[in-house]
Structure 1
Amino acid sequence: MFPYIPNTKQDEQKMLEVLGIDSIDRLFDDIPEAIKLGRRLDLGKPLSEIEVSKKIKSIANKNIGTDELVCFRGAGAYDHSVPSVIHHLISRSEFYTAYTPYQPEISQGTLQAIFEYQTMIANLTGLEVSNASMYDGASATAEAAMLAAANQKGDTIVISETVHPQTRDVVKTYMRFYGVKVVEVPAKDGITDMEALKDIVTSDTVGVIIQTPNFFGNIEDCTEAVEVAHANKALFIMNVDPISLGMLKTPGEYGADLAVGEGQVLGNSLNYGGPYLGFMAASTKQMRKLPGRIAGQTVDLDGKRAFTLTLQAREQHIRRDKATSNICSNQALNALAATIYLGALGKEGLAEVAEESAKKAYYAYNKLIATGKFKPVYDQPFFREFVLETTMDVESLNAELASKGFLGGYNVGKDYKSDKNLIMFCVTEKRTIEEIDCLVKAMEEISW
């Protein structure tokens, strides 16, 4: 009956007898007939292991990724270098198969890895405490908004239009079921309109969310925004790119209450969109309100260094739908990759990655404009991404580039309405000057 499950008819009959039923279909009696498929799955005939392997590989080979194309696209997922030591270490069975460290006496390795991760994120963001990793940058931002809504007086989250569109959508979804309004602040010249922010933030605001570098790659000065938020007793939530913190002002230096973001860039591959990891760091004042788990350092009965989960109510087990967070399991393996990445690079190495990305992005920016086929859009400092205007349809341009071996820029028109053709290019430290020059040459060869 089930050719892909290696049970004989005799095996099936024995199991049915133990269960006291006469057919496998009886296991699904609780499912209404109206929603059942009503036929066998169209899986084809059974295949041998060799045949299955060949079939899966043939399907996988249809994918075209950054191994085949030179990547100049970002928009939230970035083609940074992943040192080989990361794959070597996270593939060790002690980490690869580890589960949530409920029992510290048998989970010291996992707990220490989480503790080191938290320490690095706290140092990176300039804030006092970090929790264990979260699902991704978008849900981490939404969790920060939930924290603000649960602990501040008011009913409104204010978020900049320059925050990643998908992150804004996730925040809106979370807040809709939390009974909190989400108000967007418009963008002006590619950054948050500060005058509009001042008008929108009121005493009903529980949190203000700004991203830097923002979705367009532009760097936002959050000094005034922090003052506006705190003047209205709202928490300031800063969505940041961790690589950029190798050279830019940290959330702690700005006086942010919470720092969140996507940690994919820290030693995690693109992975076709996931799994990724979100991070969250907070000031000491917000420490006991953090969602998820926090690993702490202590000493055992013999005075030796030891680790355990701490400041953890684990209320989602008890309060369920009334809990302040849905964070249960965490992305510990991805967080371990981030820890190894930061440990391997060190402070100077991270700064070098940031500086190389920025320098090469500016090189590409100037070279593309010099072709005469692109115009600058924003007069703002940027990090590794920049938006240009072109006369050619962006999708058509990217199709031409793909035929020449390039993954072209992101079509900004997918998320922001405009009567212009806007394309956003991304340049990481992986891109060489030769690859950038080849991109420029390809642009010059394309008929416009």
Structure 2
Amino acid sequence: MRYLPHTPQDIAEMLERTGHASMDDLFETIPEKFRINGEMDLPQPLTEWELNAHMEALSQEMCAFPKNKIFLGAGSYPHYIPSLIPYLAGRSEFATAYTPYQPEISQGTLQGIYEFQTMITELLGTEVSTASHYDCGTALTEALLIALRKKKKLNKVAVSSLVHPHHRQIINTYFAPAGFEMVEIPMAADGTTDLDAVAAMDDIAAVAVQSPNFLGCIENLGRVKEIADSKKALFITSFTEGLAWGLLKNPGSFGADIVAGEGQSFGISQSFGGPGLGILTARKKFVRDLPGRLVGRTKDTKGEEGFVLTLSTREQHIRREKASSNICSNNGLNALTAAMYLATVGKKGMRELAQINHDKAVFLRDQLLDAGFEPAFDRPFFNEFALKAPKGYGVKRQELKKKGILAGLSLECYYPDLKNHYLFCATEVFSRQDMENLAKEVKNG
């Protein structure tokens, strides 16, 4: 982005137009006690090459992939991105400041969104998909808000404690000013959601679980569906690792009413936690309840096929008070990137890639068990898993960071009962040597 500074003459002309004597007068509405008096304590300016050297030095302090080996997971995953994906997504036709929707000039953009919706519904086994949302946490919250709108007399939802902790924080942020309540479903001894606890709950608008859950364990979605139906509540499920559905039975086949997910694994770089891609898809009966945008395929007056914005239940297109959501953000370029990735990998490639992820995670788990770790749970998992660490591992983990290895996420801050437990992840980007080297480092103490 170009930086165009204003000249003193430009500033004087603008102040004259606004009726202010100086730049400081622009801030006169801010109370005096909140203003900074005097000069700010800032470092001296740097030349361009000095600034570049400074930024490079700062980057070296970060433990980032691929220079470092990050065995973390927990909602953000390192995956191989085919070189054609960033090339195509970076073309000027796609990388625009805003996504246009006028069908007479935006057929390419609209078709890209339509293809994304189509592939997401095929992957997840649902009927309609929006395009798209900020991240999984906001998409999941929107799904729960749909349930509360449908069940008008209820103000409570049941959410698994094994849904990503950050996503539960987002839900609480949305719910607090609206007077809604999120009841957390406890964790069972096997690392999955305690569904017996849900069976004892009453007056809930929805039951929401994440699968694979935050600990990597695969939930019993069939049983969740049965319990939700018995409570006349909506069955909502979420996920953070989309590649899992290349191998696992998809949530739509279990009868999920609404599915929220994170699409970062579909060709989007980690970039220190962002950007993400919120996926929100559902059964067709909820099509008019979904926030965001839906693109449809139609024919014009000449009978030629085209694409149009069929539904857009958000505040910028209809009256604000009638909008399904006033907060949902559309990560359009990320949705298009995901569509490019899914089309490139294909159905067969998705399955093969998912199998590789699963197999590498199993290999890493076996290596760490041989190195002195203990299994935390005896449940099927996808590409991440929890283990109990040997004595003194916390110190060893800090030493490994200095060697460029970030070995697992401590779970104690999220789940106090899991003291000295760590969450590990392995994807296709890790070699056998990477995983054996980690186990060797741990074993040597």
Range class of TM-score, shorter chain: over 0.9
Size of the aligned set, in residue pairs, is: 440
The share of aligned pairs that are identical, in percent, is: 44
Q: Structure 1, unaligned stretches of length 5 or more? A: none
- The alpha carbon displacement at 1:105 in A equals 1.7
Contact 1:404–1:442 (8 Å) recurs in 2? no
- 8 Å CA contact retained: 2:314, 2:324: no
Name segments (4+ residues, structure 1) moved above 6 Å. Answer: none
Runs of 5+ consecutive residues of structure 2 not aligned to the other structure: none
Seen in structure 2, the aligned counterparts of structure 1 residues 421 and 256 have a Cα distance that, compared at 3 Å, is same
Q: Distance in 2 between matches of 1:169 and 1:17?
A: 47
Structure 2 matches for 1:426-445, cutoff 5 A?
426-445=425-444
**Which secondary structure does the structure 1 equivalent of 2:312 belong to?**
coil
Segment drifting more, 274-283 vs 419-428:
419-428
Q: 2:303 corresponds to which residue?
A: 303
In 2: Cα distance, 1:340 partner to 1:310 partner: 22
Deviations 1:263-300 (A, max 9, x none): 11111111111111110110011111101111111122
Aligned to 1:399: 398
- Three-state SS of the structure 2 residue aligned to 1:217 is coil
TM-score by length of 2: 0.94
Q: Deviations over 1:175-200 (max 9, x none)?
A: 22232211111111100112112112
The residue that corresponds to 1:245 in the other structure is: 245
Counterpart CA distance in 2 for 1:339 and 1:435 is 31
Cα displacement string for residues 233-275 of structure 1 (whole angstroms, at most 9, x for unaligned residues): 1110011232100010111100000111111111111111111
Q: Tell me the residue number matched to 2:364.
A: 364
CA shift, 1:363, in A, is 1.0
**1:140 is matched with which residue?**
139
Distance 1:320 1:394, change over 3 A: farther
250-259 or 58-67, which moves further after superposition? Answer: 58-67
**Alpha-carbon contact 2:79-2:429 (below 8 Å) kept:** yes
Superposition deviation, residue 336 in structure 1: 1.4
> Could you say which residue in structure 1 is the equivalent of 2:194?
193
- How far does the alpha carbon of each residue in 1:28-80 deviate from its partner, in whole angstroms, 9 at most, with x for none? 22222221222344444444444443433333343330122112111111111
* Structure 1: distance between partners of 2:391 and 2:68: 21
Letter in 2 for 1:283: R
Task: Judge which range, 16-25 or 187-196, deviates more.
Answer: 16-25
Instruction: Report the Cα offset of residue 386 of structure 1.
Output: 0.9
SS at match of 1:191: coil
Instruction: Return the alpha-carbon distance in structure 2 between the equivalents of residues 230 and 291 of structure 1.
Output: 24
Q: Residues 211 and 220 of structure 1 are in contact (CA less than 8 Å); yes or no, is this contact kept in structure 2? A: yes
1:89-168 to 2 correspondences below 5 Å: 89-153=88-152, 154-168=154-168
Structure 2 CA distance for partners of 1:81 and 1:185, relative to 1, 3 Å: same
Matched residue, 1:23 = 22
Cα deviations by residue, 1:376-432 (Å, 9 ceiling, x for unpaired): 110111111111112335542321221233111010112001264101110111111
Q: CA deviation at 1:84?
A: 1.0
- Equivalence for 2:234: 235
Q: TM-score, normalised by structure 1?
A: 0.93
Contact 2:411/2:423, CA 8 A, preserved across alignment: yes
Task: Give the direction of change, closer, same or farther, for the CA distance of 1:175–1:15 in structure 2 (3 Å limit).
Answer: closer
Query: How big is the alpha-carbon RMSD for the aligned residues of Structure 1 and Structure 2?
Result: 1.9
Distance 1:301 1:51 in 2: 61
Q: Secondary structure at the match of 1:301?
A: coil
